[in-house]
Amino acid sequence: VAILTDDRRSPSVIAEALLDHGVDDFRAYVCENVGGSNERIVESDLSDLVGQEFAALNVLLLLRDPTPSPCTKGSGRSEGRAPLLGIPDEAFHQRRPPDGLITKSEVRAVALAKLAMREDSVVWDIGAGSGSIAVEAARLAHRGQVFAVERNPAAVADIRQNVIEFGVPQVEVVEAEAPEGLSALPDPDAVFVGGSGRRLADILTDVCGRLRPGGRVVVSLATVENLNAALQTLRSHGYAAEVTQVSIARSRDVAGLTRLQALNPVFLVTGERMGTRE
């Protein structure tokens, strides 16, 4: 939205009105004296605009804020508190038992790094579970599109709730089984496969055909058989595939001493489509 402000409807007054209506997730750019020698652009959160004085005539530009700053505090919504990367596992809505379902925070970070997204990437999260990867991907690729594909209705409900709580409306939830549910989606730059329901080879074959040049697919695997299947499938489609095994141990305080507890190791298989990203 762009608003030409005047004496009465000043940036401060407009900001106050919006905040009164619970709207707080915009970034404001006040462009004073546009084209004049004393031209100035002020970037601000809405709450910081209140009370500020500007020239009489301004262009007030309001852009939806994909990664709200912490000044949204007091809104009671969690997205203001959540970091760009490193949301704690327990902050996500998820089915029980939590341990078995969610890709752990540390593994998520490595997987997101392997996906090598850009801010406008098209991302698929297949077998999205609670949507933890989709949510964090959307915070990184904040001008892109993220599709969370999940066939389990209870998990879909979790994803929807997480999308709201973490303020990532660019995540589109697709309740479908892969690979069938993928046909309607735009070709991806980055694909994460967190669950495959025994259809891993089918899914990867589909993904290999759809990835854009220079795009990446990252498959998270817990079993030896799927690890092997992922490697074979990717290579049969001409992809160079690499494996990264991630073994994490987290400390637990036991009687004042720091004991290390291991998470189960995870294999990440990364494939990259040859060619240069357009």
The footprint of a second copy (CB under 8 A) covers: 1-4, 29, 31, 34-35, 39, 41, 59, 61, 63, 67, 69-70, 73, 81, 83-86, 105-106, 108-110, 112-120, 140-141, 143, 222-228, 231, 242-251, 254, 257-265, 276-278
Q: Which tokens sit at 164? A: 């709201």
CA dist 72 and 167 (Å) reads: 12
Cβ nearer to a second copy, comparing 183 with 223 = 223
CA dist 216 and 112 (Å) reads: 11
Interacting residues of 102 by C-beta distance below 8 A, sequence separation 6+: 89, 92, 94, 129, 130, 132
Nearest to 207 by CA among 185, 176, 174, 175: 185
Q: Which tokens sit at 153? A: 């209705």
Cβ nearer to a second copy, comparing 17 with 243 = 243
Cβ nearer to a second copy, comparing 174 with 269 = 269
Closest approach, Cβ 228 to a second copy, in A, equals: 4
Q: Which tokens sit at 121? A: 């990437």
Cβ nearer to a second copy, comparing 147 with 267 = 267
* Largest separation between any pair of C-alpha atoms in the chain: 69
Closest approach, Cβ 133 to a second copy, in A, equals: 13
Closest approach, Cβ 200 to a second copy, in A, equals: 11
CA dist 268 and 159 (Å) reads: 22
Cβ nearer to a second copy, comparing 236 with 245 = 245
Closest approach, Cβ 168 to a second copy, in A, equals: 13
Cβ nearer to a second copy, comparing 90 with 184 = 90
CA dist 147 and 191 (Å) reads: 9
Cβ nearer to a second copy, comparing 33 with 52 = 33
Residues linked to residue 125 through DSSP beta bridges, in sequence order: 148, 192
CA dist 67 and 162 (Å) reads: 15
CA dist 156 and 142 (Å) reads: 21
CA dist 3 and 111 (Å) reads: 41
